[in-house]
């Protein structure tokens, strides 16, 4: 395990390797008396595994060092943030403090649900301070899911449900698709064993059935692109089991699922991506509604690619994704990849990653939630509804994607785009048709807001907003208007 970690960081600069080695030695010393894990392995194996996961996604040295030390404050007697500051550095100490859970024994006056909510709030606050706190937490949870077989059945189910309800959505927000897919499938395996096996069998039968056809399609794509002198690499991947299970629930018939097999075509630049897609669409029948341009209009979690779904010679559909090498790194590793590209921006990896998080749509919802004085149970409820629930993705007239909780209305959309739009909304069009302001939006809807900035703010829209964010913005506007009236009086 140690060898794998140090092989992975071999390309890091010398000072980074020295820092990670110091953290490794300190973690090894502090965990010397920790209880063995349920697997019977020495406890130190877990932090090394977490650090290795972080190194695999190109995390920076401070993050890897924090991965090695992430359990020391919580599990090792006498270890404090100040000790880690002294022995390593303040940044690593801050990240370790951020991932440390509240001590349940020292806070026995609170019930378990309240402590878990406070732990979650600490994590959410940590994201706004340093996204690396979440990245370490995700790596920690991923390794715990990999070793969940040694836990009791009850623990397997409870941890799997928490993973699906909290960690998987958060991984998705910051684009950590490798983490997300693996955590999903482990959680699926332990919490819904019967459905997991059924889905695994269905995918196996499906891929065996279309094995010859997919090879024919790949061979034809290779021939077509080589004839046009396009430089590329190509591979085919299966959809992960939990995502496939959700698609089966939605469509019931595999023949309606166009991306069970994803053909990834990695081109040398963006221009070649567009050219390659056109070549393939000219040759094959394709599904126009499945053609997506996530290069021009990236997803809210940084994902970029061109998509098209083609019909093979035997009538099955396959999704083709056209990406560059840089896109692939970001698509796989999300926000962590921005450390990898930080040198191009002449800023530290930590600053680049935090800047990217601040630009993400979910960030302003998190900050609004943290700033609002509410009870722990309210915080938990709003977080589930506003951040962790099912999402929809709608479009502005210019094609930009706006992410909202399912059930949102045009007024919620307006506030998410700009608080002035929400305050002065007069009407809304969805897909070029006027709709009531109470209309429930659906994914892929195109929304146009009619505003009149000369009119006073509309303060009677409370009945047609569904999201905490819009409600909070509306209440702030009401308070401001009341203060203006009082001053005039």
CATH architecture of 211-335: 2-Layer Sandwich (3.30)
Rounded to 5 degrees, what angle do the CA atoms 396, 397, 402 make? 5
Q: What is the pTM of this model?
A: 0.91
pLDDT tens-digit map of 250-262: 887 777 888 898 9
311 SS3 class: strand
How far is 441 from 352, CA to CA, in rounded Å?
A: 34
Predicted confidence band at 105 (pLDDT cuts at 50, 70, 90)? very low
Predicted confidence band at 1 (pLDDT cuts at 50, 70, 90)? very low
Residues in CB range of 295: below 8 A, 6 or more apart: 270, 273, 274, 304, 305, 306, 327
How far is 143 from 41, CA to CA, in rounded Å?
A: 14
Q: Give the CATH fold of the 390-488 domain.
A: Ubiquitin-like (UB roll) (3.10.20)
Which pLDDT score is estimated for 57? 86
pLDDT tens-digit map of 225-269: 999 999 999 999 999 999 999 999 988 777 788 889 899 999 999
Q: Phi and psi of 425, rounded to 5°?
A: -65, 135
How far is 449 from 458, CA to CA, in rounded Å?
A: 14
Q: Tokens representing 478? A: 């009401």
Phi-psi region of 118 (alpha: psi -120 to 50; beta: other; left: phi over 0): alpha
* Domains of the chain, residue spans: 2-195, 211-335, 390-488
Name the average pLDDT for the chain: 89
**Helix, strand, coil percentages for the chain (3-state, nearest 5):** 60, 10, 30
Determine whether 75 is an active site residue: yes
| Nearest-10 crossing angle of helices 361-371, 376-383 | 170
The yes-or-no answer to whether 211-335 and 390-488 have a common fold is: no
Catalytic residue, chosen from 75, 213, 378, 448, is: 75
Q: Tokens representing 206? A: 């499906």
Which pLDDT score is estimated for 304? 95
Asked if 440 and 465 touch (Cβ cutoff 8 Å), the reply is no
Which pLDDT score is estimated for 101? 80
105 SS3 class: coil
User: Which of the 8 DSSP states describes residue 164?
Assistant: I
Cα 395 to Cα 88, 426, 439, distances in angstroms: 46, 19, 15
* pLDDT exceeds cutoff 50 at 433: yes
Determine whether 56 is an active site residue: no
CATH architecture of 2-195: Orthogonal Bundle (1.10)
* pLDDT exceeds cutoff 60 at 281: yes
Catalytic residue, chosen from 74, 351, 444, 452, is: 74
* pLDDT exceeds cutoff 70 at 391: yes
In sequence order, which ranges of 349-467 are alpha helices (DSSP H)?
349-359, 361-371, 376-383, 410-417, 419-423
pLDDT tens-digit map of 137-196: 999 999 999 999 989 999 999 999 999 999 999 999 999 998 999 999 999 999 999 999
């Amino acid at each position: 395990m140690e060898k794998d970690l140090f092989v992975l960081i071999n390309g890091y600069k010398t000072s980074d390797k020295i820092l990670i080695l110091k953290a490794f030695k300190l973690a090894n010393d502090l965990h010397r008396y920790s209880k063995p894990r349920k697997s019977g392995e020495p406890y130190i194996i877990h932090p090394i595994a977490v650090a290795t996961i972080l190194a695999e996604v190109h995390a920076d040295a401070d993050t890897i060092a924090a991965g090695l030390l992430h359990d020391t404050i919580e599990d090792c007697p006498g270890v404090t943030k100040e000790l880690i500051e002294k022995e390593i550095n303040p940044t690593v100490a801050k990240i370790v403090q951020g991932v440390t859970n509240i001590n349940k024994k020292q806070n026995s006056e609170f019930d378990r649900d309240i402590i878990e909510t406070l732990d979650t709030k600490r994590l959410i606050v940590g994201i706004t301070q340093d996204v690396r706190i979440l990245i370490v937490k995700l790596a920690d949870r991923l390794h715990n899911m990999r070793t969940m077989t040694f836990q009791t059945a009850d623990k397997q189910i409870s941890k799997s449900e928490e993973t699906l309800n909290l960690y998987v959505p958060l991984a998705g927000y910051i684009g950590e698709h490798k983490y997300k897919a693996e955590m999903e499938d482990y959680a699926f395996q332990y919490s819904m064993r019967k459905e997991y096996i059924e889905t695994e069998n269905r995918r196996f039968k499906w891929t065996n059935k279309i094995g010859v056809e997919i090879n024919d399609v790949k061979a034809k794509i290779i021939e077509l692109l080589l004839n046009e002198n396009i430089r590329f690499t190509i591979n085919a991947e299966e959809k992960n089991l939990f995502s496939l299970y959700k698609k089966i629930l939605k469509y019931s018939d595999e023949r309606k699922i166009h991306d069970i097999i994803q053909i990834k075509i990695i081109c040398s630049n963006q221009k070649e991506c567009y050219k390659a897609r056109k070549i393939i669409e000219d040759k094959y029948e394709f599904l126009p509604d499945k053609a997506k341009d996530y290069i021009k209009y990236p997803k809210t979690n940084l994902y970029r690619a061109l998509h098209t779904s083609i019909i093979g010679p035997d009538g099955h559909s396959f999704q083709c994704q056209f990406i560059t090498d840089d896109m692939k790194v970001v698509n796989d590793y999300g926000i962590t990849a921005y450390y990898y590209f930080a040198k191009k921006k002449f800023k530290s990896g930590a600053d680049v990653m935090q800047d990217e998080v601040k630009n993400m749509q979910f960030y302003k919802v998190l900050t609004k939630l943290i700033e609002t004085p509410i009870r722990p149970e309210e915080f938990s409820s709003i977080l589930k509804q506003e951040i962790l629930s099912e999402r929809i993705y709608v479009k502005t007239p210019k094609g930009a994607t706006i992410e909202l909780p399912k059930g949102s209305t045009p007024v919620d959309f307006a506030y998410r785009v700009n608080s002035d739009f929400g305050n002065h909304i007069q009407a809304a069009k969805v897909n070029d048709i006027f709709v009531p302001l109470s209309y429930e939006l659906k994914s892929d809807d195109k929304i146009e807001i009619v505003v009149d900035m000369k009119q006073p703010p509309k303060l009677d829209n409370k009945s047609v907003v569904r999201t905490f964010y819009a409600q909070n913005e509306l209440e702030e506007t009401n308070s401001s208007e009341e203060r203006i009236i009082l001053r005039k009086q």
